[in-house]
Amino acid sequence: MKKKILILSGGISKERLISLDTGFQVAKELKKNGYKVKISEPDNNLEKNITKFKPGIIFNALHGQFGEDGYIQTILEQFKIPYTHSGVIASAIAMDKEISKKIFIKNNIDTPKYIKYSFDQNNLEIIKKIEKKLKFPVVVKPINEGSSVNVYICTKNNIQKTLRLMETYKQVMIEEFIGGREIQVAIMGNKKLGAIELKPKRKFYDYQAKYNTNAKTQHIIPVDISKNYLAKVTGIALKAHKVIGCKGVTRSDFKFFKNKFYLLEINTQPGMTKMSLVPEIAAYRGISFMKLIEWILQDASTKR
């Protein structure tokens, strides 16, 4: 008998719409294949929904803050019900771009240099610091958002304006801009699932390029690199997956520049929408969307 699946989607992060789409796509596929499914928001009704529905597994389709940063995982631990993707600590580490970068650096994984900026600092001082340590242009991003939400490429002329736009965050990361090719790698458990290259029409692979069908981002699979380079980038992704302690499926975002791979970040809960990359990589490897979902559910059932 197939287990009942409770799907957590929606939430209050800036990635709410993506989460709702992921939850809908997963629910649709599971129902089509005979599973009993319930979708729940992570709100005050969550405990009631879990108690009443009695799921065998919880599929965490949340994205962004409170969904993949260890917060909801801490709550789910109390119910003693298997849930998908990474646990509390790995989720919290991966979501925090500064902590994860420090772990990458400690483990000899190349990643862009960065400065952390607090909004009580002097803007003129930060410009001097950037010119000394990073050089312009730079990438300005929140420390704990996903899906390239509020990520900007800045020059010396517009960095102060961008920082003012981001004052709702207590701190942001100012990162060395790395040019080159956008390559994403999917890891499935302890195996290298594969890689895909993205060629956005926009300046870079931002939120619009990821989720707006009109953005016309080109997806290239297989990636046109040598077998040695493919083995190298997938190996780095697997290493990052392991050193952070991830579980299930992850997707790592790389820049390939001057024959060197730079790991930007690791995503512990990749999207499962029609435009999502992990299902596309899986399909190329002969793994259907349903088989991917069932693998994720099976993986959740194994001991953390």
SS3 at position 209: helix
Active site residue 131: no
Q: Which of 13, 49, 147, 276 is catalytic?
A: 147
Question: 9, 41, 251, 262: which one is catalytic?
Answer: 251
Residue 64 annotated to the active site: no
Of 67, 87, 271, 276, which is the active-site residue?
A: 271
- The stretches of the chain forming alpha helices (DSSP H) are 16-32, 46-53, 71-77, 88-95, 97-106, 123-133, 159-165, 207-211, 227-244, 277-284, 289-301
d(CA 54, CA 289): 25
Residue spans per domain, the chain = 5-85, 94-109+179-301, 114-176
Residue 259, Cβ neighbours under 10 Å: how many?
9
What contacts 159, CB < 8 A, 6 or more positions away?
126, 127, 130, 136, 138, 140
Note whether 85 and 74 are within 8 A (CB). Answer: no
CA R_g for the chain:
19
CATH number of the structural domain 94-109+179-301:
3.30.470.20
Catalytic residue among 23, 145, 253, 276: 253
pTM over 0.85: yes
253 is catalytic: yes
Q: Give the CA diameter of the chain.
A: 64
CATH number of 5-85: 3.40.50.20
If we measure between CA atoms, which residue out of 236, 262, 238, 261 comes closest to residue 250?
Answer: 238
pLDDT tens digits, the chain, 304 residues: what are they?
Answer: 678 999 999 999 888 999 999 999 999 999 999 999 999 999 999 999 999 999 999 999 999 889 999 999 999 999 999 999 999 999 999 999 999 999 999 999 999 999 998 877 666 788 889 999 999 999 999 888 755 667 889 998 889 888 888 888 888 999 999 999 999 999 999 999 999 999 987 554 444 444 445 557 899 999 999 999 999 999 999 999 999 999 999 999 999 999 999 999 999 999 998 779 999 999 999 999 999 999 999 999 886 5
| Residue showing tokens 């290493």 | 239
Which residue from 42, 32, 143 is spatially nearest to 6, judged by alpha carbons? 42
C-alpha to C-alpha distance for 260 and 236, rounded to whole angstroms:
11
CATH fold, domain 114-176, is Dna Ligase; domain 1 (3.30.1490)
Q: Contact at 8 Å (CB) between 132 and 183?
A: no
User: 200 Cβ partners below 8 Å, 6+ apart?
Assistant: 182, 206, 209, 215, 217, 218
Q: Which residue has the tokens 């707006």?
A: 212
d(CA 238, CA 243): 9
271 is catalytic: yes
